[in-house]
Structure 1
Amino acid sequence: MDELRTHYHYFSNEEGDGYEIYSCDFPEVKGFGETYEEAMADLRRNLKRYEEKNMEAQSLMESAIIAYDAKDYPKAKAIWESLSATDTDAMVNLGTMYVKGFGVAKNIQTAYALFNRAAEQGHEVASFYLGGMYENGIGVSASKEESIRYYTVAAEANMPTAQLKLGILLRNDDVLNSMKWMIRAAHAGEAQAHSLLTYVSNQNTANDINVAFRMMDEASQYAKVESVIRDNLAPILASDGGGVELVNFVSGDTPEIWLRYLGACSGCHLGPTSTAGMILEQFENVIDKRIVIYLW
């Protein structure tokens, strides 16, 4: 605590003059005193008590998890109830017990209230659970809008399953963000995202680049990509009643082309030896060999 990062202000009111100091790392912990030195000493005492309380809560949480895993639900419930006034992990764990009916009577409304309190304090797992409740109408009226709102909080906290959920839910309403989240979920190792999203590239083996394409500005590169879709891909795919549309183009050392399957191609999850391979070949011939293509 010798290197505290703090803010302070001097105040004057009916009770007298003094200082208020709070820690930048733990802004909820404050110190008060008639002098700066007294306020700093009070802050240090309060930070010590705060750390001791957190260590005690951590130890209790570990005991509760051990009890829960051993199916000693009454003990786990008692500990999490004792911590649930302030500890968001305890709120979520207790809420999960009420969802499953483990050691308590199943109560979705109580679970919702606990998840909601934790989500309001930034707990991403609670937000994910609320997203699922609104998506499926569990304990609440189903709401796609609310589901997306809560899933977004969890997705932005790098939860791959939430990113997958957003990719699916936004599919027909916001294609760009739908693909953005699906790509992030796939890169995070989400298995279903891998099965839905087709990725093709020769970037690991291609050494030559199209210098003329790389020298274009981004708008010209985008227009060139669109011309490949219009002039090269559309006639081929149209013969089978399908097509693709350009969702996004990301320029750079390894350009990314995001495409959405249309018509008869919609829902195709094909490997690089079939339609996806043909699409990659067309872009390699006209655009560049060192590219990445995402198709969904």
Structure 2
Amino acid sequence: MTKLFLSLAILFFSGIAMADINSGIEAYNEGNYSVALSEFENASQAGDAFGHHLLASLYYQGHGVEKNISKAVALFERAASEGYAPSHANLGLMYHSGDGVELNSEKALFHYSEAAKTGDFQSSFNLGQIFRKGWHDVAPSYEKAASYYRFGAGYGHVPSVNEYGLMFAQGQGVPNDFVESYAWMQYASERGDPSAVKNLDQLVEILESQGKLQQAISRAAAVNAQIASNSAE
């Protein structure tokens, strides 16, 4: 799994549940999983969504308790049904990869989408990957892929920025536009994305041959400003 299951996102909790969760997290970080289990169980039994999520994480990892994916899924589902986005993200990953559950495109897309609605850019990126290439019984759709990449790209999520830039270079789901491709690829390249660095070199050659490199540099400055503005909101 590529997502950290022991999420430390901050929500509003009852004082008792929050005290249990804080004590549990402290114990977890110290490797005292039996105490973490007890505290997370208390929070979960109090009806706290974060508590469900953390308890699910212990069952998923087998920390302080015998590993039980079925129980983990049930707890993640419970937290997700109460609107806890990291549980949606984890369930999306599990149903996407078949990690302890059967591959299920409907559930993967649903949970990724719910997580993406809350600003989880990795989940929106995963949706972009699914629709760009097609997966399981999901047909490819470059338009949908570009839309999902655009969401994360607008906030500087580097993998999304790189893929969004590639879509313009290839004319997939968006117009074929090397100036626009450069503008996004430059952002990812400056942040060390190796694919973007390589692709940017190729774009420079194309744009120089077309006499459009300065136009692309100006557009890149605008994209950087746009991302900075979005991220500051």
TM-score, length-normalised on structure 1? Answer: 0.53
Question: CA offset at residue 276 of structure 1?
Answer: 6.0
In structure 1, the partner of 2:18 is: 58
Alignment check: 8 A CA contact 1:248 1:257 kept: no
Alignment check: 8 A CA contact 1:91 1:118 kept: yes
Question: CA offset at residue 244 of structure 1?
Answer: 3.4
1:239-293 CA-to-partner distances (Å, cap 9, x unmatched) read xxxx8336236xxxxx9689xxxxxxxxx854334236525975959x9986469
Question: CA offset at residue 65 of structure 1?
Answer: 0.7
Query: Which letter maps to 2:58?
Result: M
The answer to whether structure 1 residue 244 and structure 2 residue 170 are counterparts is yes
Partner Cα separation in structure 1 for residue 128 and residue 143 of structure 2: 9
Query: Which letter maps to 1:176?
Result: E
Partner Cα separation in structure 1 for residue 63 and residue 208 of structure 2: 52
Partner Cα separation in structure 1 for residue 204 and residue 106 of structure 2: 33
**Structure 2 unmatched runs, 5+:** 1-11, 134-139, 183-194, 224-233
Q: Do the aligned partners of residues 281 and 184 (structure 1) sit closer, same or farther apart at CA in structure 2, a change above 3 Å counting? A: farther
In structure 2, the partner of 1:110 is: 71
1:49-80 CA-to-partner distances (Å, cap 9, x unmatched) read xx9x8122212211111011111111111111
Query: Which letter maps to 2:82?
Result: Q
The answer to whether structure 1 residue 93 and structure 2 residue 54 are counterparts is yes
**Structure 1 unmatched runs, 5+:** 1-50, 200-228, 230-242, 250-254, 259-267
Partner Cα separation in structure 1 for residue 156 and residue 172 of structure 2: 25
Alignment check: 8 A CA contact 1:98 1:108 kept: yes
In structure 2, the partner of 1:272 is: 200
Partner Cα separation in structure 2 for residue 148 and residue 123 of structure 1: 16
In structure 1, the partner of 2:36 is: 76
In structure 1, the partner of 2:192 is: none
In structure 2, the partner of 1:28 is: none
Q: Do the aligned partners of residues 132 and 126 (structure 1) sit closer, same or farther apart at CA in structure 2, a change above 3 Å counting? A: same
Partner Cα separation in structure 1 for residue 159 and residue 219 of structure 2: 24
Partner Cα separation in structure 2 for residue 153 and residue 83 of structure 1: 24
Partner Cα separation in structure 1 for residue 130 and residue 70 of structure 2: 25
Query: Which letter maps to 2:128?
Result: G
Partner Cα separation in structure 1 for residue 208 and residue 107 of structure 2: 38
Q: Do the aligned partners of residues 74 and 283 (structure 1) sit closer, same or farther apart at CA in structure 2, a change above 3 Å counting? A: farther
Query: Which letter maps to 1:175?
Result: Y
Partner Cα separation in structure 1 for residue 170 and residue 161 of structure 2: 19
Structure (1 or 2) with the greater helix fraction: 2
Please give the secondary structure, in 1, of the residue aligned with 2:174.
strand
Partner Cα separation in structure 1 for residue 50 and residue 95 of structure 2: 21
Match of 1:137 among 94, 98, 109: 98
How many percent identity over aligned positions?
24
In structure 1, the partner of 2:150 is: 183
The answer to whether structure 1 residue 67 and structure 2 residue 46 are counterparts is no
TM-score, length-normalised on structure 2? Answer: 0.66
Partner Cα separation in structure 2 for residue 190 and residue 71 of structure 1: 32
Alignment check: 8 A CA contact 2:17 2:42 kept: no
- Map of 1:165-180 to 2, 5 A cutoff? 165-172=126-133, 173-180=140-147
Name the count of aligned residue pairs.
Answer: 186
Alignment check: 8 A CA contact 1:246 1:257 kept: no
Question: CA offset at residue 122 of structure 1?
Answer: 1.0
Query: Which letter maps to 1:61?
Result: I
Partner Cα separation in structure 1 for residue 129 and residue 29 of structure 2: 33
The answer to whether structure 1 residue 157 and structure 2 residue 118 are counterparts is yes
Alignment check: 8 A CA contact 1:84 1:91 kept: yes
Larger radius of gyration: 1
Match of 2:88 among 124, 127, 140: 127
